[in-house]
């Protein structure tokens, strides 16, 4: 199997070579602030459920569900966004071999 981006021979488990992974890592630091809205959304959902449920007269134990829902929202957004950024990176950047 070769790198799906630049067709190099040696690949990492992600399907890209170490060189492309390094370039993606450097590129992805422009979007490091993504984690803010992802963690913020998860925390907001956890607070809404965890603090809202007792306000509505429901069991405070629902706070546990709120935390789980918030954490899985955060992780889901994180995975989805990283996948989207990888696609963006593939579409907008040239592998070193193709640079003029």
DSSP state of 26: H
Cα 1 to Cα 10, 18, 20, 34, 52, distances in angstroms? 8, 14, 15, 32, 51
Q: Indicate which single residue of 1, 3, 77, 86 sits in contact with Zn ion (rule: CB under 5 A).
A: 3
Q: Indicate which single residue of 1, 8, 39, 43 sits in contact with Zn ion (rule: CB under 5 A).
A: 8
Residue closer to Zn ion, measured from CB, 8 or 69: 8
24 belongs to the binding site for Zn ion (CB under 5 A): no
Q: Indicate which single residue of 1, 2, 6, 14 sits in contact with Zn ion (rule: CB under 5 A).
A: 6
Q: Could you please report the per-residue DSSP string of 84-98?
A: HHHHHHHHH---GGG
Neighbouring residues of 53: CB distance < 8 A, sequence distance ≥ 6: 59, 60, 62, 63, 65, 66
77 belongs to the binding site for Zn ion (CB under 5 A): no
Q: Considering CB under 5 A, how many residues would be counted as binding Zn ion?
A: 6
Q: Indicate which single residue of 2, 10, 17, 87 sits in contact with Zn ion (rule: CB under 5 A).
A: 17
In the complex, which residues of this chain contact Zn ion (CB under 5 A)? 3, 5-6, 8, 17, 20
């Amino acid at each position: 199997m070769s790198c799906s981006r630049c067709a190099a021979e040696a690949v990492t488990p992600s399907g890209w070579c170490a060189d492309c992974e390094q370039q993606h890592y450097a590129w992805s630091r422009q979007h490091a602030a993504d984690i803010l809205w992802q963690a913020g959304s998860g925390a907001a959902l956890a607070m809404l459920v965890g603090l809202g449920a007792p306000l509505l007269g429901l069991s405070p134990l629902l706070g546990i569900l709120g935390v789980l829902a918030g954490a899985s929202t955060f992780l889901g957004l994180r995975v989805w966004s990283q996948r989207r950024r990888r696609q963006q990176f593939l579409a907008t950047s040239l592998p070193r071999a193709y640079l003029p």
